[in-house]
Chain A
Amino acid sequence: MDIQAYISSGIIETYVLGLASENEARELEHLCTQHPEVQAAVDAYQQSLEAYALLHAATPPEGMKERIWQSLETGQEDAGKHVATVAATSPRTVLTTRKSNLYKYLSAASLLLLAGSIVLNMLLSGKLKDRSAEMRQLAAHQANLEEQNRKFQSQLSALQQDASLMMDPSVRKIALSGVPAHPDMKVMVLWHTQSKDVYLSFNNLPAPPPGKQYQLWAIVDGKPVDAGTYSSDGMSTQKMKVIEKAEMFAITLENMGGNPTPTLDQMFAAGKVI
């Protein structure tokens, strides 16, 4: 069995999330005992999930520590207590025959009380349910707002960064226009004249198909030079490789991770450095 291939097959990730089938889990646990590297991979993922879980840690409400300890302590006694109450109730039936009248009244009264308490319970629990549904709705609403706020903040800081690049007089702007097959493609390459840093900025980038990625090329003396792959979400500007000189820039769609040479029929946009 090729252990490296097994490790990178995705089965360990499936297993640590508790998603593996019983057979898969059994095989993996067996392999762990045979191959320390499998065990190490499982440990590493389990530790990262532990750390992820810890990120959500929250102090339990007041009094829980004592409440739980009490239930642990009485956990043993509970079983015994149950037997004791059963034993204690059984002789009482003998007495009831003698004082049956009194018991009749008492049981009628207690049934009435019980019925009253059930009605009250139903009323109150109905109200409680309404309240907790409202609470949940509010909490969900608040979480949505927080999420939106976070999104706006990160978009804003990305825009601020873009703006400062755009305003910088020592940054050259090279517009790449879409090839005839992709006329809508609008790409901007920002090239710092001193640091030679290259930034890539998209507008309305169509999402690449799964397993594909856009790659930027600098054309230097007529030859394409890899300027890095674009892994951002299509909305933000990404810093690419440093390019000392170029006559042209071009974008192609390549397999994930990029290619050493461009796939020419996958050219999306190109533009000359003026």
Chain B
Amino acid sequence: MSGFCIFIHQHTALHVHPIHIESELTDLLRSKDQKAYNYLYDHYGGALYGVIFKIVNSETMAKDILQEVFVKIWKHIDKYDATKGRLFTWMLNIARNAAIDALRSKEYKQEQRTGELEHVVHANVSMNIDHIGLNKILDSLKTEQKTVIDMAYFKGYTQDEIAKALDMPLGTVKSRIRSALIHLKNILQ
């Protein structure tokens, strides 16, 4: 519970004073004026940047990808379909996909060239935690649960790939993902 409070405190703008609910924000974004951009950047920029950075773990790459993500959101906001999911989830998925794609093409190039750096990059992505609220909440997630969630959410691994990487049956991976998400739901909401 204490983790939850810290988390609210750090993201006051988004959770305690939602100036725009998602449907209003969607309309605002479709107007494509600077006011809409400012709102979008001020309220979602940090979240999107954080996710991107967590995935690529490089400021230079994260900056470029953040820009690419905003351009995509800006261009494709007309295609966003509220019946298929929440706006923030949609934006997060754009950010995750862009970052995972960038990381994979970078890793691919590095493998071509040296083949050595790959494990460093992998080791890197798994852990980069620096604030208290996060630690408290993550501590309550079992390591095994956190591993599967992070592999799926931050690395874009399929369940089959996770099963192979961790050398465990697919059924175990599925049940771990399920229990991890249920646990997250219980502690974060």
A32 to B124, CA, bound (A): 38
Given the known inter-chain contacts A67-B67, A75-B71, A136-B120, please indicate yes or no for A58 contacting B53, CB distance below 8 A.
yes
Whether a CB of chain B sits under 8 angstroms from the CB of A123 is: no
Whether the Cβ atoms of A54 and B159 lie closer than 8 Å is no
Give the interface residue-count category, chain A.
35 or more
Whether a CB of chain A sits under 8 angstroms from the CB of B112 is: no
Whether a CB of chain A sits under 8 angstroms from the CB of B26 is: no
Q: Can you show 25 pairs from A to B with CB atoms below 8 A apart?
A: A10-B178, A17-B177, A32-B83, A45-B185, A47-B189, A48-B184, A48-B189, A49-B89, A49-B153, A49-B181, A50-B88, A51-B7, A51-B189, A52-B188, A53-B47, A53-B50, A54-B50, A56-B51, A60-B63, A64-B66, A75-B75, A140-B120, A143-B126, A154-B139, A210-B172
* Interface residues in chain A, defined as those with a beta carbon under 8 Å from any beta carbon in chain B: 10, 13-14, 16-19, 29, 32-33, 42-61, 64-65, 67-69, 71-72, 75, 132-133, 136-137, 139-140, 143-144, 146-147, 150, 154, 210
* Interface residues in chain B, defined as those with a beta carbon under 8 Å from any beta carbon in chain A: 7, 10-11, 14, 34, 37-38, 41, 45-47, 49-51, 53-54, 57-59, 62-63, 66-67, 70-71, 74-75, 83-86, 88-89, 92-93, 96, 117, 120-121, 123-124, 126-129, 133-135, 137-139, 149, 152-153, 156, 158-159, 172, 174-175, 177-178, 181, 184-185, 188-189
7 more A-B contacts (CB under 8 A) besides A52-B153, A54-B7, A56-B54? A49-B92, A60-B49, A64-B66, A65-B45, A72-B71, A132-B58, A147-B127
Give the 7 A-B residue pairs with the shortest CB-CB distance, closest first.
A143-B127, A57-B50, A51-B188, A60-B49, A58-B50, A56-B50, A48-B185
